[in-house]
Amino acid sequence: MRIAVCAPQVPFVRGGAELLAEELVSALRTRGHEAELVTVPFKWYPGTRVLDQAFLWRLVDLTESDGRPIDRLIATKFPAYCVRHPNKVAWVLHQFRQAYDYDGGELGQFDSSPQDRATRRAIERLDAVALGEARRVFATSRNVADRLQRFNGIEAELLPHPPQTLAYRTGEPEGYVLSVNRLDRAKRIDLLIEAAKREPGLRIVVTGEGPDRERLEGLAAGLNGQVEFAGRVDDERLADLYARCLAVYYAPVDEDFGMVPYEAFLSGKPVVTTSDAGGPLEIVHDRQTGIVVAPDPAEIARACAYLAGHLDEAKAWGLAGHAIAERVTWDACVDALLA
């Protein structure tokens, strides 16, 4: 089967969505299919230009290529799922949340002007049309599925995906808490840094790059080496950081899915998250696979200190998470997407 995997690409940015698209193509090829990743550059601001970006995908013809038909199209997130195809499957990682639950808040993008209000409503209508065209709609988490139902009236099937392929292994904890994220305000790494100010014994390693790095480094100033900013690391270094950490911190605002808890679990490590983190709460269960606390630096500090003082429990919770994560496989995902 000839299959096009469609995903937007923000130039010079590579995160979980990009990794998923690449690994899906690899999994399809492993199964003997002819698969290709199709991308279109995406710029989500200013808000009035978002529809222009979506219409680029509406204009793309992927029914055939080089005189041969493309049998199936799998689209992963806004605006790629706006592409037309008679055999389209949507595997929704993200909608354009600035038009949905972020609207009107700190992470929103549209103001109260008639133009912005009309644009936000148009995005909602476009999602309903584009996803309504799909033969099947999958969501990577219950959180994403619930949002599709609440805002668009679309029923989605739950289909979580595996994390990126790394040389996962478990090592003895060396006392630091690891953050693996794009450095973005929505990821709330600042809560972890503020926790370090309340817990002098808490060491943190922050990986990743992003627009929030300068602010985060400013918050960490004066902490006497408690916080290390490792930047973007290669796969071997990332696997090693996972293997040697005490726990992994992952607490974005109402996250759609999040691969990081799966990566932590495959490394045998518990996860510290918050009660409003969204998707991670589907697998991070308090005192079972990690610790769930209020989004408050003092609570996060206490959680990290507890893990440092109860290493046997931390190990047991990480192993319980491993049993969950290892059940999510690419074979199961490909079976569902091609059924």
Question: Is 257's pLDDT higher than 90?
Answer: no
Question: Is 17's pLDDT higher than 90?
Answer: no
**Distances 31 to 46, 48, 62 between C-alpha atoms, Å:** 41, 41, 22
Q: What is the largest distance, in Å, between two alpha-carbon atoms of the chain?
A: 65
Q: What is the mean pLDDT of residues 54-68?
A: 95
Contact 296/303 with Cβ under 8 angstroms? no
87-113 tens-digit pLDDT:
999 999 989 999 998 898 888 889 999
Question: Is 270's pLDDT higher than 90?
Answer: yes
Question: Is 262's pLDDT higher than 90?
Answer: yes
Type of residue found at 339 = A
CB-facing half-sphere around the CA of 283: CA atoms within 13 A? 33
CA distance linking residue 172 with residue 23, whole number of Å: 29
Domains and CATH numbers, the chain: 2-159 (3.40.50.2000), 176-325 (3.40.50.2000)
Query: Going by DSSP bridges, is the β-strand pair 176-180/247-249 parallel, antiparallel, or unpaired?
Result: parallel
Percent residues over pLDDT 70 in the chain: 100
Tell me the whole-structure pTM to 2 decimals.
0.85
Tell me, what's the pLDDT at 61?
A: 96
Q: Which residues pair with 271 in a beta bridge?
A: 248, 290
Tell me, what's the pLDDT at 221?
A: 93
**Distances 247 to 6, 170, 219, 311, 316 between C-alpha atoms, Å:** 34, 11, 21, 10, 12
Residue with tokens 């992994």: 248
Contact 88/135 with Cβ under 8 angstroms? yes
Q: What is the mean pLDDT of residues 51-61?
A: 94
**Distances 330 to 17, 23, 57, 90, 163 between C-alpha atoms, Å:** 15, 9, 27, 16, 10
- DSSP states along 48-82: GGHHHHHHHHHH-B-SEETTEE--EEEEEETTGGG
CA distance linking residue 52 with residue 59, whole number of Å: 11
What is the pLDDT of the chain when averaged over all its residues? 94
Query: Going by DSSP bridges, is the β-strand pair 227-231/136-139 parallel, antiparallel, or unpaired?
Result: unpaired
Q: What is the mean pLDDT of residues 214-235?
A: 94
141-152 tens-digit pLDDT:
999 999 999 999
**Distances 184 to 119, 216, 260, 277 between C-alpha atoms, Å:** 24, 10, 15, 15
